[in-house]
Chain A
Amino acid sequence: MTEPALASLLPLPVALPLCGAVAAPLLARCSRRLPVIFSLIALAGSAAVLLAAAPAVFRGTVIAHYLGHWTPVNGHVLGIALAADPFGLAFGLTVALVGAVLLLYSLSELGGLGSRELGGLACLFQLLLAALIGAALTADLFDLFVWFEVAALASYGLTGFFLERPLALEAAFKILVLTTLASFAVFVGAGLLYAGHGALNFAQLHNSLAGHAGTADTVALGLLVAGFATKAGLVPFHGWLADAHTAAPGPVSALFSGLMVNLGIVAIARLAFDVFGTASTPVLGLLMTLGLISALLGALMALAQDDLKRLLAYDTVSQIGIVAVGLATSRAPGVAGAAYHLVNHALFKSLLFLCAGAIVHRTGATKLSQMGGMARSMPVIAGAFILGALSIAGIPPLNGYVSLSLIHQDLLASHQAVPYALMLAAQVITVAALGRAAWLAFFRRPAQPVRPRERLRPGMLAGLAGLGGGCVVFGTAGPAVLRTLMAPAASGLLHASRYASGVLDGRARLGLTGVPFDYLSPGELISVAATVAVAAVLARGYLRSREPRLISWLRAIHTGSANDYAGYAMAGTLAVIAVLSLA
């Protein structure tokens, strides 16, 4: 297809799931499962359009579409732009494809729900996916705010989906408080930037901000970063994340963790690189700090959890921290590694959450202390969980290895010894946490044997197989994926001026930077082996000794009170603004 034809199709990937969301409650009146099947078709349509755009976009073209044909006049943008660049498209495609897998899984696991419930679930699911695809494709700050809010509203509904469960209500209240505060920050930030520059389009803002950013601009950036960091679950904005994941059904947790949380980090990446890329603000240093703190704290909290889904949720905080560190390197290998890790995280974390959901479905057990010895009774789930855990641990040839190596090697190559050491420490703790979970759930001799009461349904099996297969493919085909998808994605962020002129006049091409990657570099293989060995010792020591003081203290400050979490988030917002304006 030609580029103008593709550009005119660009609203479809968002519009199709939106239509599906509207139709879902109505279709539920005809047949119980029809809304979910219809949403699978809508998502397939979205994915098809995105895939049709992929060859051109990943060769370095930015395909821009102005809604209502309000095209720019002399560099002044009047309309709302949707622009497919490699970074956004990589995220959008992940959302459409992984989202379809998750829907298939829900159809199977939650297929026994009534028609009203299934209609509502399909509606909220598609609303959230449409918002995520919209956020991936938009090139307009206010549009981004709207997608943020659509995603937020859908996530409130999904968190509190089982309204009769008190835990779900508690989680819904916390996510509401924190996300509402975040939305104020994003709203005011967008307004301040508009008031200062008279522009909302990323490209126009980029051109207007080039070289200098005033105080109002840095305050606006601070508000925007704080707001999107809440969505991304970076510390100290992460209070809602673990609770929302614990209370939601398995596929919904997978959707939150694998896809929704990424919206925040994608938006931060857009702002830091494509909007403020040449404005010389200390945003990347800030991102590095936030990322390292999140990576460490998330891993430590994961090590201490007894609830399996909560453990995985804290690990999400840690993984998003790693993505933030990768972005903050601002060099092609690190940023490509971050984009790669974002996609990998969607695959392996969804897989792990589906495993946790399947365990709940089959045995009713949510806590590790209730599980044990399940490797024998549920070999498929055990295999899928271990595959996911090995991917996170970065064991070759699984997908985590490639992205983690890229980020680690880039930190080493740019002589950032302290971040590198902290990243390795976080990685050791993460591996220990997941190793502990796998041991307790699957291999330990249980006090009383856990017997599955339900069988694994075909749709659930397909979901696990699809995501597990993704982990293997993205690992073994690492260099090819890096060359064709992730290196272009990094150049979508690093060549901000090319992105800007691509959005404005559609003629410029992103200069594609090659990212060298040595798949079997001995140093990296030794480091992985050492990490696993140290992690094994750590996990064994943790299981045998009393809880360390540091972890007890960290658990104590996660008080579970919405007031406290709001306080942490506000303190974080003020700190972010202060750092950006004063540094």
Chain B
Amino acid sequence: MILVNYLVAVALLCTGLYAVLTRRNMIKMVMGLSLMEAATYLFMISLAYRAGSTAPVLLDPPAGQTAQDLVHGNVADPVLQNFCLTAVVIGVAVTAVFLSVVVRIAQHYRTLDSGRVREMRG
């Protein structure tokens, strides 16, 4: 049972969301989004887990298990782990763009306060 994984994922998600909704410092908002991202990864990896399963690296059956066990599907789901790998790569790119935009905003407006960077409204 990996209930604790799900609980931690929810806690991380809520912490990140709290930062995004209430912090006006843009760097903190980016950090909040990164926390939420981490929560989604943890959630996905936990979904992939099966009781007593091994990692989906199928070169040799691990000690105490036969190839037959693996054929019967006693491995963690590799597809969801692949999801995470893809999303990690995308997440890195997005965070890089994010931070470069924040740096440029800081240079132009001389502030990191999202409440003061809102010329466009209404």
Contacts and interface: CB of A to CB of B under 8 A. Distances in A.
Interface string A153-192: 1001100100100110111110011001101100110111
Nearest to B21: A567
Contacts of A242: 120
Interface string B10-31: 0000000100111110100100
A232 to B, nearest CB: 20
A547 B44 CA distance: 49
A160 B32 CA distance: 22
A561 B23 CA distance: 11
A247 interface: yes
Interface in A290-338: 304, 310
Contact of B94 (A142, A167, A180, A195): A180
A566 B20 contact: yes
Contacts of B23: 563
Contact of A563 (B24, B83, B108): B24
Contacts of A163: 104
B72 interface: no
Contacts of A146: 86, 90
- Binding site secondary structure of chain A: helix
Contacts of B117: 169-170, 173
B71 to A, nearest CB: 16
Interface in A533-583: 555-556, 558-563, 566-567, 570
B120 A562 contact: no
A517 interface: no
A464 B105 CA distance: 34
B97 A187 contact: no
Nearest to A171: B120
Contact of B26 (A173, A246, A566): A173
A558 B86 CA distance: 34
Contacts of B20: 177, 181, 563, 566
Contact of B101 (A169, A192, A246, A304): A169
Nearest to A557: B122
Contacts of B118: 170, 559-561
A469 to B, nearest CB: 33
Given A166-B108, A190-B83, A567-B21, A180 B44 contact: no
Nearest to A564: B21
A117 interface: no
A410 interface: no
Contacts of B43: 188, 191
Size class of the contact patch on chain A: 35 or more
A149 interface: yes
A243 B122 CA distance: 10
A267 to B, nearest CB: 17
A194 B80 contact: yes
B40 A184 contact: yes
A27 to B, nearest CB: 23
B120 A247 contact: yes
Contacts of B17: 570
Given A173-B114, A188-B43, A560 B22 contact: no
A563 B77 CA distance: 36
Contacts of B44: 187-188, 191
Contacts of A567: 21
Contacts of B56: none
B66 to A, nearest CB: 24
B121 A559 contact: yes
Given A181-B20, A191-B80, A176 B122 contact: no
A180 B33 contact: yes
B21 A566 contact: yes
A538 B117 CA distance: 34
Contact of A176 (B80, B97, B109): B97
A562 B105 CA distance: 14
Nearest to B98: A176
B122 A563 contact: no
30 contacts: A142-B83, A146-B90, A153-B94, A153-B97, A156-B94, A157-B97, A166-B105, A167-B119, A169-B117, A171-B120, A172-B101, A173-B117, A176-B98, A176-B101, A177-B33, A180-B94, A180-B98, A181-B33, A188-B43, A191-B83, A195-B77, A304-B122, A555-B122, A558-B122, A560-B119, A560-B120, A560-B121, A560-B122, A563-B23, A566-B20
Closest 7 CB pairs of A and B: A560-B121, A560-B118, A555-B122, A195-B47, A166-B108, A243-B120, A149-B90
Given A170-B117, A173-B26, 11 more contacts: A146-B86, A149-B90, A152-B94, A170-B118, A180-B98, A184-B36, A187-B44, A200-B79, A247-B120, A558-B122, A563-B114
